[in-house]
Amino acid sequence: MAAVTGKSGTILYAGGSVATIKSWSMDIQTDMHDVTTLSTGVVQWREFAAGISGWTGSIQGTFNADSTGQNNMIVASLAATTAAVVLEMDKDAGGSFVGGCFLESMSVGVDIDNQTDMTWSAQGSGSLAYSTST
């Protein structure tokens, strides 16, 4: 399998391409419930059952007034609404996550000696799917 680097990653938010993104990350978790029962055996092993799954993520980049996706993210952050998001690892090789999310926080940093930084924290809402297609 060919190595994949992050340089071809992309993000679509509420149908718009998000420009000038430097990085994104995602954490997927599933709650595990201990369903171990009493046993008379010498060795006792724990047993678990999968519970509810969820995901969170973060997106970092620089402000781009011409980016429809970024503008959609800013509006959603101010209105506390959920929207569809596609987090793609490589636009040519494939590998993307598709779901819905709330943008639970947005940070803006303005510096005279640098570009305007934008950072969002995402909270997944509903199911998340993985696709290998491009």
Query: Could you give the C-alpha distances from 81 to 8, 20, 27, 68, 104, in angstroms and in order?
Result: 28, 23, 21, 16, 9
The two tokens of residue 40 are: 């008379």
- pLDDT of 117 over the 70 cut: yes
> SS3 of 6, please?
helix
Using a cut of 0.75, tell me whether the model's pTM lies above it.
Answer: yes
Query: Domains in the chain, please, with CATH?
Result: 7-26+55-131 (2.30.110.20)
- Residue-wise pLDDT for 39-91, tens only, equals 877 888 899 999 999 999 999 999 999 999 999 999 999 999 999 999 999 87
Assess contact for 105 and 123: CB atoms under 8 A: no
Judged on CB neighbours under 10 Å (0-12, 13-18, 19+), 102 is: middle
